[in-house]
Amino acid sequence: MGSLGIAYYFKGDFSRAIDYYQQAIKLARQLQDKQREAAITGVIGFAYYAKNDYLRAIAYYEQSLAINRTLGDIQQQYGILTGLGVTYNALGNYDRAISYYEQDLKIATQLKDPQGIKDTFDNIGAAYINGGNYPKAIEYSQQSLTIAKALKDRATEANALTNLSTVYNVLGDYTKALDYIQQSLQIARELKNLPLEATSLNQLATIYYAIGDNTKALSSSEQSLQIARQLRDPSSEGRALTNLGGIYNNLGKYPQALEYSSRGLEIGRNIKDPRIEQTSLINLAATYLVLGNYAKVIDYSERSLIVARRLKDPQAQATALGNLSSAYIFTGNYNKAIEYSNQSLEIAQKIKDRRLAGTALLNLGSASLQTGKYQAGLQYSTQSLGVAKTLKNPQLEQQFLANLGIAYLFLGKYNEAISYSN
C-alpha cells in the first residue's frame, strides 16, 4: 500500500497517494508498528501540503512528530519539523515557522549535520523575508550561502543568492539585488535546473520592473513563463503571469496587463496560493487606477489588503494601502487618502522600503495640497523627490518632480513650478 502511495505521490496524484497511505497506516496500527506509522503519517502531511491543504498537513505532521518524539527518533523529527515550518510559512505565521526551524537547527547541530544546518538557515532567511525582518533575513541567508559554498552545494547556493537578491530589491539596493540574482541564474543554468532558473528569472524581472527597465523585465518574465509551462508548474506560471501583468501596465498596454493579471489571479485561486492571488489583485488595482476605474481600484485593493494582512506581509500591505490612497485622492476623499498614506508610510519606513515610502510621501503631498495645506504638501513632495533620486528610477523621479512643480504652483512660486514641471 505504501509503495503505491509513493508511486502516485511522484506522479503528482496526491489524492490517490493519500488513499493508499491511509490504508498503509491502518495496517501499521494493526501491527503496532509505531515507526512505520510515524513515517506514513508524516508522508501524508507532505501530500496534503502538496495539495495546499495546510491545516490537514499540520494535523498529520503533529501526529508524526508526537510519535517520533516518543520513539526518540530525532532524525525523523528533523524532517517533520521542517514540514511544519514550511507549512506555517505558507500560512503567513512566520513566528511559528521560525520556532519550528529553530528546533530543526538544534537537531541539525546536535547531529553535526552541515547540510541540515545550511538548509535550516536558508528556510529561516526566507521566513524573515516574508515577515519583513530584512536584517535577520540577510544574516541567515549569508550563513546559508557560506555553508553552501563550503559544501559545494550549488542549488542551495542559488537559493541563498535569490533570498539575498529579494531583500536588497526591497531595500532599493538594485546593484546588489541584480548581482545576487545574476549569480543565482548562472548557477541554475549550469546545473540545468529549470525550476531554479524559472525562480531566478522571475526575481530578475521583479528587479528590472523596479528600476523601470521594462524591456528586460518583459524578456525575463517571458522566459520564466515558458519554463513554467514546460514544467507544468502552475505556481511558477502564476508568478510569471503576475509579473507580466505589472510590466504591461508600466508599458501602457492595459488590455494585456488586465489579461495577464487576471490569469495569474485565476491560477492563484485554483492552487490556493495566497501570494500569487495577492500580487495579482495589487496589479489589477494598479491598472484600473490608470484607467480611472476607481471603484475597481478600491475593490481590488481592499481584497489584496485582506490577503496581505492574513499573510502578515508588510510590503504587500503598504502597496495595497498606497493604491487605496491614490484612489481616494482621485475621488476627492482626501481625508481617507491621508489616512491610508500615513499607514502605508509607517509600514514602508519600518521595513525600509524606499520605493513604497516615496509613493506614500507623494500621495501625502498631493492630498495635503488639495486640502489647502500647501507647506505640508511642499514638504512631503520634496521628501518624495529625495527618495526617488536614491532609487535611480527615471520614471519615478519624473513623476515626483511633476508633483513638486504642482506644490510650488499652489504656493504661487511660478518660476520654481515651471522649473520642476519641465
Decide if 365 contacts 403 (C-beta within 8 A): yes
Which amino acid is residue 26, in one-letter code? K
Q: For residue 251, what is the DSSP state?
A: T
Task: Tell the residue number behind the cell numbers 536584517, with chain if given.
Answer: 135
Closest to 77 measured CA to CA, from 25, 112, 35: 35
- CB proximity list for 414: less than 8 A, separation 6 or greater: 408
- Sign of torsion, CA 82 48 278 180? positive
Closest to 242 measured CA to CA, from 298, 297, 304, 195: 304
Decide if 358 contacts 140 (C-beta within 8 A): no
* pTM reported for the whole predicted model: 0.84
Closest to 323 measured CA to CA, from 368, 278, 376: 278
The three-state secondary structure class of 293 is coil
Radius of gyration of the chain (CA): 24
Dmax over Cα atoms in the chain, in whole Å? 89
C-alpha cell at 9: 505521490
Any alpha helices (H) in 272-333, and if so which ranges? 274-291, 294-311, 314-330
Q: Give helix 394-410 / helix 414-421 axis angle, nearest 10°.
A: 160
Q: What is the pLDDT of residue 28?
A: 87
Q: How far apart are CA 332 and CA 3, in angstroms?
A: 64
Q: How far apart are CA 173 and CA 134, in angstroms?
A: 13
Decide if 32 contacts 71 (C-beta within 8 A): no
Q: How far apart are the first and last CA of the chain?
A: 74
Domains recognised in the chain with CATH numbers:
1-109 (1.25.40.10), 113-192 (1.25.40.10), 341-422 (1.25.40.10)
Decide if 417 contacts 387 (C-beta within 8 A): no
1-37 pLDDT, tens digit per residue, is 556 656 666 677 788 888 888 888 888 898 899 999 9
Which amino acid is residue 387, in one-letter code? V
- CB proximity list for 206: less than 8 A, separation 6 or greater: 169, 217, 243
Q: What is the pLDDT of residue 381?
A: 75
Kindly list the distances between the CA atom of residue 68 and the CA atoms of 23, 65, 82, in Å, as whole numbers in the listed order.
Answer: 20, 5, 14
C-alpha cell at 400: 515626483
Q: How far apart are CA 316 and CA 205, in angstroms?
A: 18
Residue stretches of the chain with pLDDT short of 70: 1-10, 392-422
Decide if 67 contacts 34 (C-beta within 8 A): yes
Q: How far apart are CA 193 and CA 187, in angstroms?
A: 8
Task: Tell the residue number behind the cell numbers 492630498, with chain if given.
Answer: 367
